[in-house]
A = this chain, B = another copy of it.
Amino acid sequence: MVTGKSTILDVARIAGVSTATVSRALAHPDRVQQATRDRVMSAVRKTGYRVNPVARNLRTQRTNVILVLAPNLANTFFSRILSAVTEVAASHGFGVLIADSAPLGDHDLDVMDLSGDGRADGIILLDGALDPLRVTNTDLPLVMACEWIEDSTLPTIAIDNVQGARLAVEHLSALNHHRIAHIAGPVGNVLSTARHDGWRSAMQALDHRIEQNDYFAGDFTLGSGVSAARQWLAQPADQRATAVFCASDECAMGFIGHVTRQGLRVPDDVSVVGFDDIDLSEHFLPSLTTIHQPRRRMGARAAETVIRLIRHENTAGADAAPLPVELVVRGSTARR
């Protein structure tokens, strides 16, 4: 019997008790007499009453929700992280709300925004390009995950991107490749920078010269893999890098797709390594050699960390060592 939205007062009237009792019957059933509780519950059913979360939040100063701010929901990389966050949060009694952080960058969020206090008890920020001071009003616990902010002291869950790049380069080098090109991620992004650095330093450590044409700009997308492939193909065949390390799996797939359609073969004509190990990588043709990121663990750890912060529990180890990455050798790389 649902009729319009009813408040706690409606329920109280029907049950013949005070609103305080209704509230207690719902939140602390043991603190109200059995008979009273029954009357309340029946009134709740009769009215279809549900507590207004906003009113409750305002009163209790808690929301039991964690807000996740992601830079790009169109990036398949985040999905598994989000589901891990949701799971862990649920097991601690928190709900998870997700918002695209891109709009926040544009607008002026000085005074009003999606993320402010009151809507959430804590924030997980996946976007290293956002100024966290602008994201939240001072007091809200905030943890960074995946990306990070240089010189900040925020608790951060991330992998060792430099090491990931190094593993890729060493693998290729061990297969006798010396000319190893790199297709980078978006300029300015911390992940791009770290992977780029890892590539450069590993090349140097192995005494492989980096040719001027072996760096390709990109942005993690399929499309950027395609356009890098075009540029690479435009180089004289005998002067091309024999292997390519891509800043993301999607980019690698774009590269392989284009190059293959142009008649070359991977890995026979060129070896390719990705980064991320998204679900599709093992099913791609050829299956993709890549750097595995523990996405579930990152999500879970991020959730645990904010929750601990929210509860003022010991946070030691929160910003501990980066999570380990792993080289997964599959079909897109071969001995030269």
Name A's B-contacting residues (CB within 8 A).
2-5, 26, 44, 48-58, 63, 65, 73-76, 79-80, 82-83, 86, 90, 95-100, 102-103, 110-114, 116-119, 133, 137-139, 222, 225-226, 250, 253-254, 256-258, 260-261, 279-280, 282-285, 287
Partner of A260, one of B79, B112, B133, B285: B285
- A107 nearest in chain B by CB position: B90
A74 touches B80 (CB 8 A): yes
B280 and A65 contacting across the interface, CB-CB below 8 Å: no
Q: Are A113 and B50 in contact (CB under 8 A)?
A: yes
Given B26, B75, B79, B285, which contacts A75 in the complex, CB threshold below 8 Å? Answer: B79
CA A203 to CA B287, docked complex, whole Å:
34
Which 4 A-B residue pairings sit nearest by Cβ, starting from the closest?
Answer: A54-B118, A257-B283, A74-B79, A98-B98
Q: Within the assembled complex, what's the spacing in Å between the Cα atoms of A287 and B79?
A: 24
State whether A137 touches B50 (Cβ < 8 A): yes
Contacts A50-B137, A58-B58, A74-B83 known; list 11 others, CB within 8 Å.
A3-B138, A50-B112, A51-B111, A51-B116, A52-B116, A82-B100, A95-B113, A97-B97, A253-B280, A257-B285, A261-B287
Min distance, Cβ A107 to any Cβ of chain B, angstroms: 8
